[in-house]
Amino acid sequence: MEQTIRTRRVKLVVAVIVMLFAGIIYAWSITNTPFVQVDNGDVINATQLGLNYTLTIVFFCIGGFAAGLISKYTTSSLRLVLSAAMLFASFISSSLQIVTLEYSGNYFMLYMAYGVLGGLGIGIAYVTVISTINMWYPDKKGFSSGVVLMGFGLSLMIIGRVVDVMGNSENIGWRTTYVIIAIALGLVFLIAAVFIRPPPKDTVFPESKAGKTDKLNEAANDYTALEMIKRPSFILAFIYITILASTGSAAISFGKELMLDVNASDSMAVTSVGMLGVSNGLGRLALGWLFDKQGLWKTRLLSSAVAILAPLAIVFAFLANSVILGIIGLCLCGFTYGFSPTTSSVFVSEYYGQKNFPLNFSIMTLILIPAPFAAMMAGGIKNSTGGFLYAFIILTALTIVGFFVNLAIRKP
């Protein structure tokens, strides 16, 4: 038992490091710098750059779904090696585009290299790491999911900052930075392939304590993906978790602009966005810890309460022109966004079992496809009204609807 505990701790640390690097998917606002084209102070290729990010997120979801589909026929090590190769090729190819894109204007190769290949590689690794690590923590599924996903959430603040410094350095530059990213991702994911493997079948784990406090935490039946998506509980949960992600997505996309609109200084606005990123990571860990202590039902209620307060705080920040309320609102939105992946993981595990978890979890990650539309809605309202107030009023109403959707979810 003690050996098992030591072994899984090592694997958890490796998983967090892997997810820190995998979280570079959210750093496109930083890594797109060498591709930005400016004319008279205006960015003239914002649409093309935005499409690349959209493709990255879509193919991230597709990659996760593919990892789930092949999980029964391949080992976790093989999938991580595949992911390492794809990400190495993605960033090496993208580094070449830094030189040629300005002259060729051919964004198709960038889309294929960064958006498609990079998105697929990270999606495969994401589902593989989470599903494999959860096998080592049947007694602390919320904790393991929360810790691993915290690494993914904090990536923008840690890895993103390092990448920004290297890219803007005269001695390194963006093309070399892309090559370094390619090598780093390749090596980290290859090392992960050695460490992140399922436990032996005869492994004995500590007894779970969550089930003693929550009737919803009884052993789940092992549902297939087709059986899961037919359940009303899945449909309702998918809607609810999408709402959680939507609120955070809007705040993450326009965090700095939101703070500037309540008359925060530029420095304070940047700091607030950093606090939002930290809250995103901590939200993943906090919800996982709460799940292990209080069970899924109480965890869902708390996530609903925070989800409602998050956009509401920003609404009041606009009405009162309050920087403090703006910071509170952004932090709550960060927590809300962090809640969504952890809720997805523990919900699928608790309600639909571990046997088909990789595929079932990959289906739930498809929430990331509709969630960014909230950011598009907020941006559209900003353009038409000059502010984000009505966007966050709509998001507040949406989270209230989400609360009742949440209440309607029942264990299958």
- Asked if domains 2-195 and 210-408 share a fold, the reply is yes
pLDDT for residue 220:
52
pTM for the model stands at 0.80
- The pLDDT assigned to 358 comes to 86
Closest CA to 395 of 183, 251, 229, 232: 251
**Cα–Cα distances in angstroms (integers) from residue 178 to residues 3, 26, 29, 391, in the given order:** 40, 15, 14, 36
Once rounded to an integer, what is the mean pLDDT over residues 258-274? 83
Q: Are strands 42-43 and 38-39 parallel, antiparallel or unpaired?
A: antiparallel
Closest CA to 49 of 94, 87, 83: 94
Judge whether residue 77 has pLDDT over 60: yes
Worst-scoring range by mean pLDDT, 42-46, 251-255, 408-412?
Answer: 42-46
Q: What amino acid is encoded at 182 in this protein?
A: A
pLDDT at 217: 43
Asked if 56 and 28 count as a contact pair (C-beta separation under 8 A), the reply is: yes
pLDDT at 212: 45
Alpha carbon distance 361, 131 (integer Å): 8
Average pLDDT, the chain: 85
pLDDT at 41: 67
Task: Categorize the per-residue pLDDT at 1 as very low, low, confident or very high, splitting at 50, 70 and 90.
Answer: low
CATH pick for 210-408 out of 1.10.3720.10, 3.40.50.620, 3.40.50.880, 1.20.1250.20? 1.20.1250.20
pLDDT value at position 208?
A: 63
275 phi-psi bin (left φ>0, alpha ψ -120 to 50, beta other) = alpha
Contact 339, 287 (CB under 8 A): yes
Tell me the pLDDT tens digit for each residue of 341-354.
Answer: 888 888 888 888 87
pLDDT recorded at residue 229: 92
**43 confidence band (pLDDT: 50, 70, 90):** low
pLDDT, tens digit, 9 for 90 and up, residues 281-317: 888 888 878 887 877 788 888 899 999 999 999 999 9
Q: Letter for the amino acid at 33? A: T
pLDDT at 209: 59
Q: Count CB-CB contacts under 10 A for residue 328.
A: 19
- What size, in residues, is the chain? 412
Q: What is the mean pLDDT of residues 327-342?
A: 89
Predicted confidence (pLDDT) per residue in 99-118, tens digit = 888 777 788 898 999 999 99
pLDDT band at 59 (very low <50, low <70, confident <90, very high): very high
pLDDT at 123 over 70: yes
Q: In this predicted model, which residue has the larger pLDDT, 257 or 185? A: 185
Nearest in space to 250 (alpha carbons), one of 32, 399, 357: 399
| pLDDT category of residue 216 using cuts at 50, 70 and 90 | very low
pLDDT of 363 higher than 80: yes
Burial of 165 (0-12, 13-18, 19+ CB in 10 A): exposed
Tokens of 335: 């927590």
pLDDT of residue 218: 45
CA 377 to CA 374: how far, in whole Å? 5
SS3 39: strand
pLDDT at residue 215, as a whole number: 43
Say how far apart CA 381 and CA 207 lie, in whole Å.
Answer: 51
Please give the backbone phi and psi of residue 42, each rounded to the nearest 5 degrees, phi first: -110, 140
Q: Is 217 exposed, middle or buried (0-12, 13-18, 19+ CB in 10 A)?
A: buried
Region 164-184: mean pLDDT is 92
> What number is the average pLDDT over the span 22-40?
81
Q: Which CATH number, 1.20.1250.20, 3.40.190.10, 2.60.120.10, 1.10.10.10, labels domain 2-195?
A: 1.20.1250.20
Domain regions of the chain by residue span = 2-195, 210-408
In the prediction, which pLDDT does 268 show?
A: 84
Q: Which of 175-179, 283-287, 358-362 has the highest mean pLDDT?
A: 175-179
- On whether the CB atoms of residues 351 and 411 are closer than 8 A, the answer is yes
pLDDT on residue 83: 95
